[in-house]
Amino acid sequence: MADAPRLKNVSLMDLCRAQAQPFHQLAAGDAQKERVLRTLAGTEIVPYRAAPMYCGRVKNALIFGKSYVSAEPLRGVFYGQSHRDYSTEEFVKFYAREIVDEQRPHPEVTQECCFLGGLSGNVRFFGHFIFEFLYRLVAFDMVGVLGRFPLVVFDDVPEAWVSFIELYGVPRERMLRIRQHPAPQFSAAWVTGCPNYLGVDGVNYWLWDDGILNMHADLRHKALAGAPPGPKRVFIGRRDAKHRRLLNEDALWQMLEAEGFVYPDFVGLSAAEQIRLVGAAEIIVTVGGSGGAMTHFAPENCAIIEILPAHLAGVLGSLGFAAVLNQTYHRLPAQVVDDGKERGMENDLTVDIGLVRQYLRAAVQQIP
């Protein structure tokens, strides 16, 4: 008889039901919404979907990264991050960077806890941390378990990112900092779905509105209370980026500086200090990348101008936040530099500075 497959694909709801554990559906995810997008081609309507969101408790489970739970030795459970049923082969290939269950021994966590994790495989970008992980705190809060149990955070999550968790209300002494590999085994752990993600059709983005709105209001309130107002015009560039660099960024910054913009350096700052730098912004010009995640903490009436290569939509980022927060969003396509690379996430860019100036004038006219 052939060995049983090492992996199986089961929703978190089915796993909780099989284990007689609590499961909470926080958002049904059945609404399609629209967002106005302004580009060189004019005004477009971009659809997005409200993401389903859930939180449940699992017992005697190995947990790999953000989206993989194993309730049986050498078998795994994919708990429905993207509404796709993966075959075993697809699953292993797609999540190979997270699945290391051959390594022994698995560290055991006997305390009941909430599992945040914090990174996925080789992903080490601030934008992913904000978009895919931070909002899980809201889910744990809504279920009523965040304040009752320790929060598991992988030990390679940068300290500056941990400060966002602290600002939300989880002190460091209530965080369990553990290694991601080999996968930890939990006696009892609360886990959630992924709050925001790209659908398998590659077109629809799924956004958890309640998570974005609650986190936006909570962290802004805590960071800005009693603080002096920050700058009105902010530029978020990619000066130190290793890829998708804006090659004429110096010339762009020279123009923006003359228009009263500031170019903040977020490195080494606490969450509250970072939020204060964008917390009063009326206009933010950002070069598409993880740093653009800070537009999430800008005011609801802020105008966002995002510079992106023409082949990237960029919905999981500033446009996604703007869609929920009702910020004004302008997408400014940049030109890809022909360096022999295929069109993808790493192409370097140049931008027409005259077009940036044109977009900037339009944004200024819309300021209340």
Helix (H, G, I), strand (E, B) or coil at 43: strand
**Listed residue (189, 184, 180) closest to 151, CA to CA:** 189
- Intervals of CATH 3.40.50.2300 along the chain: 226-366
Contact 288, 307 (CB under 8 A): yes
Question: In which band, very low, low, confident or very high, does the pLDDT at 289 lie, cut at 50, 70 and 90?
Answer: confident
- Measure the CA–CA gap between 112 and 81, rounded to whole angstroms: 23
Q: Is 207 within 8 Å of 320 (Cβ atoms)?
A: yes
Are 120 and 67 contacting, i.e. CB atoms less than 8 angstroms apart?
yes
Q: What's the pLDDT score for residue 120?
A: 54
Is 29 buried (19+), middle (13-18) or exposed (0-12) by CB count in 10 A?
Answer: middle
Place of tokens 């989206």: 67
Q: Taking all residues of the chain, what is their mean pLDDT, rounded to a whole number?
A: 83
Residue 104 has pLDDT above 70, yes or no: no
Q: What percent of the chain has pLDDT over 70?
A: 80
Pairing of strands 328-336, 303-309: parallel
Digit-coded pLDDT (tens) for 208-249:
999 999 999 999 999 999 999 899 999 999 988 888 889 999
End-to-end Cα, the chain, rounded Å: 71
How, if at all, do strands 197-198 and 185-192 pair? unpaired
The Cα–Cα gap between 211 and 213 comes to: 6
Residue 56 DSSP label: E
The predicted model scores a pTM of 0.89
Count of residues in the chain? 368
Q: Which residue has the tokens 């993401």?
A: 51
Q: For the chain, state the CA radius of gyration.
A: 21
Q: What does the block give as tokens for 299?
A: 């005011």
Whether the per-residue pLDDT at 341 is higher than 80: the answer is: no
Local confidence band at 331 (pLDDT 50, 70, 90 cut-offs):
confident
> How do beta strands 53-64 and 185-192 pair?
antiparallel
More confident residue, 182 or 280: 280
DSSP for 195-213, please give it: SSEE-TTSS-EEE-HHHHH
Q: What is the average per-residue pLDDT within 248-258?
A: 97
By the 8 A CB rule, do 65 and 120 touch? yes
Give the pLDDT confidence score for residue 333 in this predicted structure.
87
Which of 137-141, 314-318, 359-363 ranks highest by mean pLDDT?
137-141
Bond preceding residue 182 cis, omega within 30 of 0: yes
Looking at per-residue pLDDT, the higher value among 35 and 20 belongs to: 20
Query: Cα–Cα distance between 342 and 92 in angstroms, integer?
Result: 26
Residue 81 has a pLDDT of 46
| Helix (H/G/I), strand (E/B), else coil: 25 | strand
Mean pLDDT for the stretch of residues 318-327: 87
How far is residue 131's CA from residue 194's CA, in Å, rounded to a whole number?
9
Query: Nearest Cα to 356, choosing from 272, 254, 262?
Result: 254
Q: What is the mean pLDDT of residues 48-63?
A: 86
pLDDT at 87: 58
* Residue 71 confidence (pLDDT) above 60: no
Which pLDDT score, from 0 to 100, does residue 360 have? 92
- Going through the chain in order, the beta strands assigned E by DSSP cover 7-8, 23-27, 32-39, 42-50, 53-64, 68-72, 75-78, 108-109, 113-117, 151-154, 175-178, 185-192, 197-198, 205-207, 233-236, 283-287, 303-309, 328-336, 349-350
**In this structure, CATH architecture of domain 226-366:** 3-Layer(aba) Sandwich (3.40)
Report pLDDT for 181: 75
DSSP helix/strand/coil, 115: strand
Residue 93 has pLDDT above 70, yes or no: no
Location of structure tokens 């279920």: 143
The arithmetic mean of pLDDT across residues 166-176, rounded, is: 96
Close Cβ partners of 111 (under 8 Å, ≥ 6 residues apart): 149, 150, 176, 187
